[in-house]
Structures are given as C-alpha cells and as structure tokens.
Amino acid sequence: MKQSTLEHELAVEQAHVDLVYSRLAEATRSAQHVADQGADLYKSDRGSFVREEDGTGLYERDVFAFQAAKRLAVLDAEHEGLVFGRLDRTDGEIRYVGRIGVRDADYEPLVIDWRAPAAEPFYRATPVNPMDVVRRRVLRCSGDRVIGIEDDLLGEGSDEDLVVVGEGALMAALSRARGPQMRDIVATIQAEQDEAIRAPWQGFTMISGGPGTGKTVVALHRAAFLLYSHRRRFENGGVLVVGPSQVFMNYIERVLPSLGEDAVTLRSIGGVAADVVDLRGERTDTAAVATLKGSLRMVAVLKRLVNEPWQDVPRELFVTLQGDVLRLRADELSRIRADVLGHTKLNAGREPAEKALLNALWRKRGDIDLERDEFDEKITDNAAFTVFTNAWWPRVDATDTLARLASRSMTERVTAGILSADDAELLSASFRDRPDGRAWTIADAALLDELVHRLGPLPEPEEREISLFADDDTEIAELVTTMERLAPKREIDPFATPHDTFAHILVDEAQDITPMQWRMLRRRGPSASWTIVGDPAQSSWPDGRETERALTELVGGAPVRRYRMSTNYRSPSEVFDLAAQVVVHAYPEADLPQAVRSTGVAPELLTAADLGDGVRDAVRALLGAVEGTVGVVAPPSRLAAVVRALQDAPEGSDERVIVVTALQAKGLEYDGVLVVDPDTIVAESAGGLRSLYVALTRPTQRLVTLDLRPDPLWRRNLG
Ligand SMILES: Nc1ncnc2c1ncn2[C@@H]1O[C@H](COP(=O)(O)OP(=O)(O)OP(=O)(O)O)[C@@H](O)[C@H]1O
C-alpha cells in the first residue's frame, strides 16, 4: 500500500473507531441517567407493576453499560482495541468485528460481537471459500488508536487455501513479552481454532494437539462462545472450567473477564470437590501414590472402608422396659444395618435405622403390655437407646473416614484382594505422613468426593454460637466431628445432591485426569455437555489406558466431535525441534505440531559442576536475553536447592523469575526457560521423558538446559 493510501485508509478506520467509542460513552451516560431516574422510581412507587417493568428495563440497560465500561477498563489497561476487524462483502456491505457488539442510535450495528454468526467469515474465509467476503482487514489498535492495517483479498483467481489470518497481528501477538497471565486471542483466532470454538454445544467436543497449539486458549474462547450463543442455558446451568493447578487457574483467570464473561466457575482439579469438603492447599503425592489413588480400584476400597464399623461401636443393644431387658444380638444388628444401607446412604440412614431397631424390639416385647406408640416413645426416651443409636449409627464425615487409612491394619483389611501388600502400605503411609494432619493432596480430593457420594451429605450443622476461640483450627475440627457423630437426629434430604452441578464442563490437560477424578467430574455434570482438551504426549502417567477407559465410559453413547490443532504458536521452531526429538523417542505416536515462528536462536545445552553456580549464571543470562518471564523448571528433589541458590542472588528477587517442577509448569509458558537436570526430571516422574517434553516446550523465546554431569542420558537421542 502506498504511504498516502495507507494514511487515508488509517484515517477512515480511525473515524469509525472514534464513532464506536463515542457511541459507547453515550450509552454509558444514558444508562447512568436512567439509573438515577430509576433510583427515584424505586423510592416513590414501591410495589407497583409498572415500577417492576421499569426496573427490569433499567437493569438490562444498566448491566450492558456497566459491562461495557468494565470491559473497556480492562482493554484500556492492556492497550487492546475494541474493534479489530472489518469485512467487505460482495454485496457492498461492510461489517466491523470487535470484542463487543455496539449499535448506533437507530439500532444499526456499528460493530458485531466476534462470537456472532455474522463474524464467522472473519476467521474462516479463504480464497477457495471466500464466504461472500471480498476483503478481510485486520485493524491493529493500541487502545482507541488504529496503528496498522493488514488486508487479505479473497476474490476469485486465487487458489491458495491456507491463509494465516492477520499474519502481522498474529506475529506481533506471539512475539510480545509474556506477563504473569494469559491474554485473549480474539483478534487473531485461526480458522482451525475457530471451528473448535464454535462447535455445537451438545455431547462431547474433544480438542487435541501438541504443546502450544492454543488448546487452552481455544477452550476458554469456547466457554465465552457458548455463553454468548446459548446464554440462557449456560448462564442458568453454569459453566465449569477445570485446569491442572491453582497456579494455572490464576494464569488463565483473566481471559474470560477480558472477553466480557464473568459467569464461569474456574476450579483446579484439586479444588473441584471444594463444594463438598474443606480442601486447603494443593499438595501432590509421589507419582506412585497418585497413580494408586487415581485408580478405579479405590472405588472398591472406599466401599469397604465406609462399611468398617467405628471402634467404639457397641456390639449389642440392651434396653430395659418395665423391668424386662430387651436385647438385640450382634447378628441381628448387622442384618438391620445391611438392610438399611441397601436403600439409603449412611448419613441419611439414622432415622430408618431407628425405625428398624424399634420394629425388632417390638417383636421381642414378650409380656410387655403397651400400645405400639407408647412402646416406641418409651424406648426412644430411654437414655440407653439414645446413647446406643448415636454410637451405632454415627453420622460420618468423609475426611474422618479417609483419615482412617492412616492405620496400617485398617488399610490391610479394606484393600485385601484389591491391592498388593506393598501398595497397601504405600497408600497407608501417605496418610500417616500428612504434614499437619489436615492438608489433603490433589489425588485425595477425588477420594473424599467419592466418600461424600457414598456417605451422603452431613446434615446442615445447627446454628452454633461462635466460639471466642474460633481461630484455633484444630479445636473447630474436633468440635465438628464429635458433634456430628453424636448429634441427635436432624433433617436430611436423602435425595439432595451435595455437589454443585453445571450445564457445560471444560476440562483442560485431560490426559492427566485419573479415573477417580473423572468420576468426581461426572458428578458435577450428570447431564452436562463437555469440552475435553488434552495431549497424551504430555501425560504424567506411566500408562494412560485406565484413564482412556474411564473417559470412554464417561462418553458412553453421546455424540463426539473431534478437533485437532496443528500449529504451535508458543515455541520457536528451534526450541520445538529439540523437544520433539526427545518425545518421539519415548512416545512415537506423539502428535507434533508445526511451529509457526523461528527466532534463529538455538537452545543452549549447558553442563555445570555446581548446581547453584550453574542456575545463577543461566538465569542471569536469560533475564538479559528476554523481556518477560523466566521459568526455572527443576526436578522435585532439587527444587529447594534451586530456590536457595537463587535466594542468595539478585536474580532471585527479580519478579520475572518463577521456579517450578515440570508438573507445576503444565499449561504455563515463560519467555525464557531453564530446565535444570533433565535426567532427574525424567527419573523422578511417572511420565518420564514425557514430563521432560512438557518442560522443554514451555518457552516462547529461549530454551536453556543445565546438566550436572557429562554425557547425560536424555541427550543421547538428539540428532
Ligand atoms: N490464534 C492465536 N493468536 C495469538 N496467540 C495464540 C493463538 N493461538 C495460540 N496462541 C498463543 O499460544 C500460546 C499457547 O497457547 P495455549 O497455552 O492455549 O496452548 P496449549 O495447546 O494449551 O499448550 P500446552 O499443551 O502446552 O498446555 C499462548 O500464549 C496463546 O495465547
């Protein structure tokens, strides 16, 4: 484009963008005005039908302006443009595409929301299938200023099918320094990503692809798309996004609000069950223990555990009535228990159990001369009976139950024939080693959820006076469990579901979801539709087959749609080529994407005799080489040493430096990455070389590895 033409075109686009911003400002002002008026209406005319109508209208306009203002504030802070595209159609119509739909005073669209069907050609039109578009224009804006334009002409005569949408804008976005949080990509979504984003909502949408192909960001845009196109269904029913860790959730949490969507629940896989159990922190188990706890064999173990009587359970029942002793023997009590548990959950079974006891005692009444009502009343008033039922049929908390596995003999009993003796000991030891007695691991959360499901919810605690000493955690825990166990009967709805449920669930890093975790997720969406995102080549498990089976079971006969992302937008080709050589060795069927960028800088493979010196030098060099974040990925056993080494150096206090394990780095990215002691990363992870692959694919710019001995194993397979 000639300079003068470019200036002219920029001025044309600027004029339209100005119009959009001034229209929005006007809408905000008028909404404020209506709000002020509305406040008066509320004051003067409480309760009338007209007022309610006004109130609703006000609410909608108000919300629109409020949302728009909020979104503008986010965009402003990021210097992101509200309008980013323009389509010139064969019929002469011009459409602008932006992050939000804005209409003029006559209700004519000034900009259409990127999620609207009319915006689809912006992402999908190609010269072969131009979708009635003659020209697609990408506007690059900084805040409300248009600073660049790029055109694709889609007229006849071109036979090129693969078009990168807004290549300049895309490359600018990809080369930008990374901060601590992920950004949205609405201005540069590519065609194959758009297809997955706009896939129908029903059934299962499976999105696969190698590292950096945009699976996470696509899933988030899909959540925004679903809310836009089926607002009622998904806002009412709820949308849940599940990721691998809390750090990851913090990393992605800003994307949806920047797209104008707040109505989405984000939970890490370790926090999914926070709606039914008190979960704090996110400890991880060793790979061996996590694999055990994630296995479906735990279903049978937990079933037995729930049926294990508590130690102080009385074996027989004696009640004295009118001088006679009525007695129920252990075998009679067991029969009653089994019978009740056959049709209710334990925590809902107290009442039916009491009724069954009364029936059994009534049959033994002998010469006692009482009407049935009187008989029941006298028995239930009897202190011995109350003490017995409280102890015999305690209301049981899932956490107390799981904690019983800390006992070696208990674990041996409930795992006999299901786990090997070694595995049983491994499992039991993991509960004995809980650091402060209350911190559960990510894998425990799914077990606790299973237990809540089996036991049923505890009754709502009655209003209690708040203790003056409520700050002491241990005291509260003790108070709750003792009270719950010995509490007199309270109302329980046996059919109530204790879990939050959602209409759509998006699961990221699905290759790492264990069978037990799939069961936990399924409870959150008994009639949900699903988007499942993953890459088996990045799996942390030694054997993904059990997980595959669990997923197949979840899908059942529902419709499944599959999308494959083929381009790596994160890592430069120099970095990805090296990572790919590592993974194909361990996992030949890995789905390797094509890197879209190259920097000309090869990865640096260093060896150091001293860990501290090596790490400090490499981090210092990386901080100088990249503008944004530097991730140091270390094996778990060396994490503390790496943190210590950096603490003593000025580099360690740089906010751009983050130290993580390969597991914690899942889904994240950093401009510069130092992978410390790759051989130990491989050795310490159940995923082996696949975990190293995760670490090596985190950089957006530079990769450095640091070995601590010559001739490291992982480098033997490099070309
Ligand atoms: N169309 C796009 N435009 C701009 N940036 C993009 C686009 N697609 C992906 N990206 C960027 O590429 C990077 C990788 O994306 P993302 O984290 O979603 O990939 P992923 O497939 O989930 O990776 P992994 O499997 O390694 O977790 C992010 O910085 C994302 O913003």
Check pocket membership of 244 for ligand 1, CB cut-off 6 A.
no
The Å distance, Cα 668 to ligand 1 centre, comes to 10
Residue type, 600: G
CA distance 262 to 506: 15
Residue 102 is encoded by which pair of tokens?
A: 């804005």
Interatomic CA distance for residues 203 and 181, integer angstroms: 30
Residue with the nearest Cα to atom 25 of ligand 1?
211
Atom 4 of ligand 1: nearest residue by CA position: 185
Question: Is 612 annotated for ligand binding?
Answer: no
Hey, whose CA ends up nearest to atom 15 of ligand 1? Answer: 214
Determine if ligand 1 sits within 6 Å of the CB of residue 255: no
Q: Is the CB of 535 under 6 A from ligand 1?
A: yes
| pLDDT beneath 50, residues of the chain | 41-63, 157-162, 463-492, 494
718: left (phi > 0), else alpha (psi -120 to 50), else beta?
beta
Neighbours of 544 (CB within 10 A): 18
| Predicted confidence (pLDDT) per residue in 91-138, tens digit | 999 999 998 888 888 888 999 999 999 999 999 988 888 899 999 999
Q: 511 in ligand 1 pocket by Cβ < 6 Å? A: no
| Token pair in block for residue 607 | 């060896």
- How would you class 552 by CB atoms within 10 Å of its CB: exposed for 0-12, middle for 13-18, buried for 19 or more? exposed
SS (H, E, C) 312-372: CCCCCEEEEECCEEEEECHHHHHHHHHHHHCCCCHHHCHHHHHHHHHHHHHHCCCCCCCCH
| Minimum-distance ligand 1 atom for the alpha carbon of 210 | 25
- At 546, phi and psi to the nearest 5? -65, -40
CA dist 266 → 67, 184, 276 (Å): 20, 16, 16
Phi, psi dihedral angles at 2 (to 5 degrees): -65, 155
Beta strands in 132-213, from DSSP E residues, in sequence order: 133-142, 145-153, 204-209
Is residue 270 part of an annotated ligand binding site?
no
Measured CA to CA, the distance from residue 331 to residue 409 in angstroms comes to 24
47 annotated as belonging to a binding site for a ligand = no
| Residue to mutate, 194, 215, 216, 217, ligand 1, most ligand atoms under 8 Å from C-beta | 217
The CA distance from 671 to 570, in Å, is 9
- Ligand 1 near 539 CB (within 6 A): no
The whole-angstrom separation of Cα 577 and Cα 233 is 44
Confirm if 612 and 712 have CB atoms less than 8 A apart: no
CA of 213 to the centre of ligand 1 (A): 5
129 φ/ψ angles, rounded to the nearest 5 degrees: -125, 80
pLDDT at site 77? 55
Q: Is 282 in the pocket of ligand 1 (CB under 6 A)?
A: no
Q: What is the pLDDT of residue 257?
A: 84
185: exposed, middle or buried (Cβ count in 10 Å: 0-12, 13-18, 19+): buried
670 CB under 6 A from ligand 1? no
Instruction: Determine the Cα angle at 99 with ends 198 and 194, to 5°.
Output: 25
Instruction: Tell me: is residue 378 an annotated ligand-binding position.
Output: no
Taking CA atoms only, the protein residue closest to ligand 1 atom 30 is: 214
CA-to-CA distance for 466 and 463, rounded, in angstroms?
9
On the CB side of 293, CA atoms within 13 Å amount to 30
Contact 101/113 with Cβ under 8 angstroms? Answer: yes
- Site to substitute for ligand 1 among 242, 253, 565, 569, most atoms within 8 A of C-beta: 569
534 DSSP β-pair partners: 208
Burial 27-43 (b: 16+ CB within 10 A, else e): bbeebeebeeebeebee
183 CA from centroid of ligand 1 (Å): 9
525 is in an annotated binding site: no
Answer whether 184 contacts ligand 1 (Cβ < 6 A): no
The CA 343 to ligand 1 mean position distance, Å, reads: 49
Task: Indicate whether residue 570 lines ligand 1 (CB < 6 A).
Answer: yes
214 lines ligand 1 (CB under 6 A): yes
Q: Determine whether the annotation assigns residue 214 to a binding site.
A: yes
669 lines ligand 1 (CB under 6 A): yes
Q: Is-contact 150 169, C-beta < 8 A?
A: yes
Buried b / exposed e over 569-582, threshold 16 CB at 10 Å, is bbbbbbbbbbbbeb
CA of 564 to the centre of ligand 1 (A): 14
Residue owning the nearest CA to atom 8 of ligand 1: 214
Any ligand 1 atom below 6 A from CB of 444:
no
Ligand 1 pocket test: pick from 185, 575, 576, 698 the residue with the most ligand atoms within 8 Å of its Cβ: 185
User: Do residues 507 and 267 touch, judged by C-beta distance below 8 A?
Assistant: no
| Gap between the Cα atoms of 566 and 168, Å rounded | 20
Question: Would you say 38 is a known binding-site residue?
Answer: no
**Contact, 538 vs 668, CB < 8 A?**
no
Per-residue pLDDT tens over the stretch 75-87 = 555 557 889 999 9
Count Cα atoms within 13 angstroms, Cβ side, for 578.
Answer: 25
Tell how far the Cα of 98 is from the centroid of ligand 1, in angstroms. Answer: 20
User: In terms of Cα–Cα distance, which of 152, 229, 249 is closest to 508?
Assistant: 249
What is residue 511's predicted lDDT score, i.e. its pLDDT? 92
Q: Is 168 annotated as a binding residue?
A: no
DSSP category for residue 488:
P
For 662, other C-beta atoms within 10 Å of its C-beta total 27
Helix (H) or strand (E) holding 17: helix 3-44
CA of 704 to the centre of ligand 1 (A): 21
pTM over 0.80: yes
Ligand 1: nearest atom to the Cα of 694: 26
Residue 379 — φ and ψ, nearest 5°? -65, -45
Reading the block at residue 103, the tokens are: 């209409």
CA of 285 to the centre of ligand 1 (A): 29
Q: What is the 569 CA–ligand 1 centroid distance (Å)?
A: 6
Query: What Cα–Cα distance (Å) separates residue 658 from each residue in 149, 243, 634?
Result: 36, 19, 11
Instruction: Look at ligand 1, atom 26, and give the residue with the nearest C-alpha.
Output: 211
In testing the pocket of ligand 1, which one of 140, 165, 216 has its CB within 8 Å of the most ligand atoms?
216
**CA 505 from centre of chain:** 9
The single residue listed with the structure tokens 């959360």 is 445
Which residue's CA is the closest to the ligand 1 atom numbered 29? 570
Measured from the Cα of 217, ligand 1's closest atom is 18
Residue 546's pLDDT is: 80
- What is the ipTM metric for this complex? 0.99
